[in-house]
Structure 1
């Protein structure tokens, strides 16, 4: 365990004016509170808070953050209280410690709805003081470094949570070094064989090629010396997980992977960054499409650097990052640079981002998301996104996440422009709204008066901001119709447990589900944003559990009367995992439809025939047939590759019909056997990623609406 003198020395190295007595007092208090407690490894428990504090000194953080690290587990794990900490160390530190305690109690890897609510709390804590999450990230880093002492099941759970949540969050905050270490530590637990394989191949490669890093850094220094640029040059092999991820994304082996080495050039000034870029490009050939200038267009977390990839010795590709010393400090610590100290003063780094502005930019679109799942989707889209930069016709720059479409671009400019969008031009050419934008493209949005957002836009948009605005507009446009449908669904659902959907019951459900009134609840129920089952559970949780227990065995659909037959509607072909409703047909059983099926509109005036249904767990047939409408390029071997791709996704083709044959494109319908909605989503995503697939969508045909047989 690090001694208090050593910890104080670490802080004094960058902050000679540190409040040494306060740090010593916090150290002594924390040690006393944790006395007699031990970690799974057998070490004294207080060794953990001290290690967390030491990690934060590497980022040269302020005294309050260091003291919070020393005390971050006292309120949760000892007899210490908020009042005790506040009295001894002040309200600022007490609030920080309390914030970390609340974050520790969040189960971010739990079920989707609870996870979404916990993400809300996470971002609320961050918005109050970002130092809370800095301590939490350091806490998670040390726990991952010492994870071997945990039982295997717990190791896997923590590693998955770290990989899915904390590593991307560290990256989004600009703390790239921490993201890489968290990913690699998680990778070691989640896929030890894969990581060992990468390391073995690295060792073999070094034996075959020698010290490539030393040779390339020497070459770069020589080229920079020729043009009189004083700069630090250093290189490293990329982390095993980074290499593994590239191999998986590109579906290639280690031997075919090119840019496995990364190099950094640290200059004295911004002008020298561009001069160094010129020197490197004059010596080595630049790889097209691999240049990014984050100096002229910095990331929202303050990151600035020039990225380029060149063909180095023996044709091997290497990635080069060029930045100044101040830019490098922000690149290492990200948003944390705002609290960094040097020589006893807050570091005045011009590139450090104001945390308040940063957190506002991150959470801006979340405010409009009332639904848990939509909020979670928006958070993850924001956390995991890389960026592309596009230009308006006037030359202004618009930042968008990787994979964004012209529709996302339109909503990024203004919600009004997005809602009125009817088309787009990219670099002067008319393109479909689902086109993926690339760096440097110029985008012009075509609008029309009277245009309103379409439901299909939700599949085109990729940003949380665009999706939120589209959903909001659709909700408002269809509110009355959805409210009417929601009322009938609520009535049927309550009757199913022997109760009535009274105004009082609906108001209570709205309050429990944190929805603004019963009318909003019914509208969201009718639009499939909330299930009728969730509404009933909000009022009568015990009754829904009892009704579930009384479901007939081996019935795939819950909510039918005993012996009542059912059949999937051919018009919409619903899948397990999708919201469904039933239409009763006299003497013929029930047809099961997706909630968004167009056929349902024909039965709005017949509410007595509607049944609130949902899929049962674990009793489905092995496959369900779904029809996909595909447009593919008319080239040799394309159809074979599409069939192979479908097979790789473990989906079986049961029928194929060609609808249209053109010299350049084929349009066809393919019947595929799938297990559930997520299986369909994975298949469609894989097909959309195939360059020879121009479009793919689920086929819906209202003319195929069917009445089921009397028995199933």
Structure 2
């Protein structure tokens, strides 16, 4: 501990170091008698975590929280005791890092996801939470040899999937590299060994090349009177492995294994050095990236270029200022201004702050902690594209992002109401993938809502979470409305409305049915998980012996009117495709709501055998919308026959959704057309018009 205090004295005042030492004594007493797997006293670990953060020059409250980060989780010390001894901010930091050990979960994955969710959400309030957790994980990885092999693999996988990407997202490159190397060592030791041996052979043959490039770069800079540092290095093993895996290449095919970093004092010098490098060695076309003009999502800035070096070997050169180098190594921690006394995330870079806000959006849209963690994982691997808004603002998105991802990156409301888009002044579909340099314009409509099909092509965590969250809430609202209508329909023959029933009786039934609110009960009814007839009779009679659940379908004097605007809790069967005017029946489908069939549908089966799920329905007087139905048109084999039929259908105000053609006997062709109609009368007019065409031999509705 004395060594740590001596190191901290280089930037912290004595009174703050005294507080840190007091926290050490507090933690040592709390962890007294506890040891790690290696056999050493437990307090060694939190002191090592504080040392890592001290190397990042973090403030004294963060260092105190690092020393105490396990006392709430692993000892009898409470959050209130920590707050009394060291203040509420330290207590919040310690609590944010602590796992959810008091809650029982069904699986290790669920418990792990919930703990990570808690930590990430605490991070949105104070970024120091994640810095403490990253330092904690780094020291655990350094001492992982004491763990059992299966625990090593589990912890290493979590490190590679979660913690190293978070360090990268926050721009803490030095920590990211070490986490990746240690995770690679313990998760894929055999693969790492192969790459290490191959790299050792390559390094031996190319050390002279590295020295030559360094010398020539320094000489060229000296001739132009440009001051700077030149450093040749090889890429770390996990980075090489990822490139091999992503690009499906053998080690011998990974060309830019060696890299050079040039660090200078000013931004304009970066571009002058780039010109010198391109004069010395030919640049590889398409391999130049200007992260100074357009920083990465984590705030990283540098010039990158791949060159053809001596002996035709590809080399990568990175050129940046000293300030950019400091940011690349320490990332968001470089912005922590411990001398000002400002706390929280007020000094967080704008790009990192935007990501933290996206975490909150993902949290609201996720169904549970496991789903939330999956959204975060998606968002932690941003191989970026850079696009522009019409006003020139740069937006950074994950590679493969679409127009919808862009809309949600602007704002959740923009994504939810997106109806069209224009890229570089050209109208495009909403699933169009974006490329760097494009200008994207989004068109919205107040009445528009997200489409579930968008989930098939969006790639960012924020877009996926927002869409799922909206659809989940939409389905619940629609289920409540449908459940209310179904229940009112069943209460009507009993001579009562829902509002007239005694609230105490409703509350008693909710308790008996294990429902927390009336809305929850209505959702159950709307989704078909509970019969409205049974609920209605229970609410009115409230006596078990007068109710026979098996007779749930006996009383249906009032039919439910189908308007066509009920949303996703009322669906129309694809087997028979009912349209307004068709005699219809409906079945409850648990979890889906109501499925409407034509009464003669062969898949409907015997309604008498399914009385417990049967619902009497009818079309409303003026149903809204258009409904798909299928017709089969047999035509003579003449050129343009399909166009003639399509024009006739279009003239009567219908759209053709799909066409399937097949030749029957060489003389005739069958056209199966999926068309949109408003009613059975509309369909009859279309079929009458098509039947009159000279090319048409026969027309029928499918299925008949």
Q: What TM-score do you get using the length of structure 1 for normalisation?
A: 0.65
Q: Secondary structure at the match of 2:98?
A: helix
Q: CA deviation at 1:398?
A: 2.1
CA distance in 1, matches of 2:306, 2:415: 35
Q: 1:12 corresponds to which residue?
A: 9
Q: Secondary structure at the match of 2:597?
A: helix
Q: 2:362 corresponds to which residue?
A: 366
Q: Secondary structure at the match of 1:255?
A: helix
Query: What stretches of structure 2 of length at least 5 have no aligned partner?
Result: 487-506, 531-572, 576-586, 615-659, 663-700
Change (3 A) 1:376 1:76: closer
Q: Secondary structure at the match of 1:216?
A: helix
Q: 2:71 corresponds to which residue?
A: 74
CA distance in 1, matches of 2:47, 2:65: 10
Change (3 A) 1:305 1:525: farther
CA distance in 2, matches of 1:507, 1:303: 56
Q: CA deviation at 1:369?
A: 0.9
Matches within 5 A, 1:537-556: none
Q: 2:202 corresponds to which residue?
A: 205
Q: 2:20 corresponds to which residue?
A: 23
C-alpha root-mean-square deviation of aligned residues, in Å? 4.5
CA distance in 1, matches of 2:42, 2:260: 39
State whether structure 2 residue 211 is matched by structure 1 residue 214.
yes
CA distance in 1, matches of 2:120, 2:215: 45
C-alpha contact (below 8 Å) 1:38/1:44 kept by paired residues:
yes
Matches within 5 A, 1:526-545: none
Matches within 5 A, 1:265-284: 265-284=262-281
C-alpha contact (below 8 Å) 2:255/2:315 kept by paired residues:
yes
Q: Secondary structure at the match of 1:308?
A: strand
Q: CA deviation at 1:353?
A: 1.8
Change (3 A) 1:268 1:105: farther
320, 324, 327: which is aligned to 1:327? 324
Q: Secondary structure at the match of 2:259?
A: strand
After superposition, what is the alpha-carbon deviation per residue over 1:527-571, rounded to whole angstroms, capped at 9, x for unaligned? xxxx99xxxxxxxxxxxxxxxxxxxxxxxxxxxxxxxxxxxxxxx
C-alpha contact (below 8 Å) 1:302/1:352 kept by paired residues:
no
C-alpha contact (below 8 Å) 1:338/1:354 kept by paired residues:
no
C-alpha contact (below 8 Å) 1:127/1:356 kept by paired residues:
no
CA distance in 1, matches of 2:28, 2:447: 67
285, 307, 311: which is aligned to 1:310? 307
Q: 1:518 corresponds to which residue?
A: 520
Q: 2:289 corresponds to which residue?
A: 292
State whether structure 2 residue 183 is matched by structure 1 residue 181.
no
CA distance in 2, matches of 1:388, 1:523: 46
Change (3 A) 1:220 1:475: same
C-alpha contact (below 8 Å) 2:96/2:119 kept by paired residues:
no
CA distance in 1, matches of 2:456, 2:50: 45
Change (3 A) 1:101 1:122: closer
CA distance in 2, matches of 1:464, 1:32: 43
325, 335, 353: which is aligned to 1:357? 353
CA distance in 1, matches of 2:89, 2:286: 48
Q: CA deviation at 1:268?
A: 1.0
Q: CA deviation at 1:189?
A: 1.3
Q: 2:97 corresponds to which residue?
A: 100
Matches within 5 A, 1:328-477: 328-339=325-336, 353=349, 357-358=353-354, 360-372=356-368, 374-415=371-412, 417-419=414-416, 421=418, 423-427=420-424, 431-445=428-442, 452-471=449-468, 474=471
Change (3 A) 1:476 1:365: closer
CA distance in 1, matches of 2:281, 2:461: 40
120, 124, 127: which is aligned to 1:123? 120
Change (3 A) 1:5 1:416: closer
Change (3 A) 1:458 1:73: closer
Q: CA deviation at 1:483?
A: 5.5
Q: 2:39 corresponds to which residue?
A: 42
Change (3 A) 1:300 1:193: closer
After superposition, what is the alpha-carbon deviation per residue over 1:345-398, rounded to whole angstroms, capped at 9, x for unaligned? 999xx9962799356433242254151255334322222223211123443322
Q: Secondary structure at the match of 1:365?
A: helix
User: Comparing 302-311 with 141-150, which one deviates more in the overlay?
Assistant: 302-311
CA distance in 2, matches of 1:461, 1:407: 7
After superposition, what is the alpha-carbon deviation per residue over 1:51-104, rounded to whole angstroms, capped at 9, x for unaligned? 111111111111112222222223333444444434443333233233323478
CA distance in 2, matches of 1:115, 1:486: 37
Q: 1:504 corresponds to which residue?
A: 510
Q: CA deviation at 1:583?
A: 13
Change (3 A) 1:309 1:507: farther
Q: What TM-score do you get using the length of structure 2 for normalisation?
A: 0.66
Q: 2:677 corresponds to which residue?
A: none
CA distance in 2, matches of 1:164, 1:326: 29
CA distance in 2, matches of 1:294, 1:163: 25
Change (3 A) 1:50 1:424: same
CA distance in 1, matches of 2:67, 2:261: 34
User: Larger Cα Rg: Structure 1 or Structure 2?
Assistant: 2
C-alpha contact (below 8 Å) 1:231/1:266 kept by paired residues:
yes
Q: 1:257 corresponds to which residue?
A: 254
Count of aligned pairs between the two proteins? 541
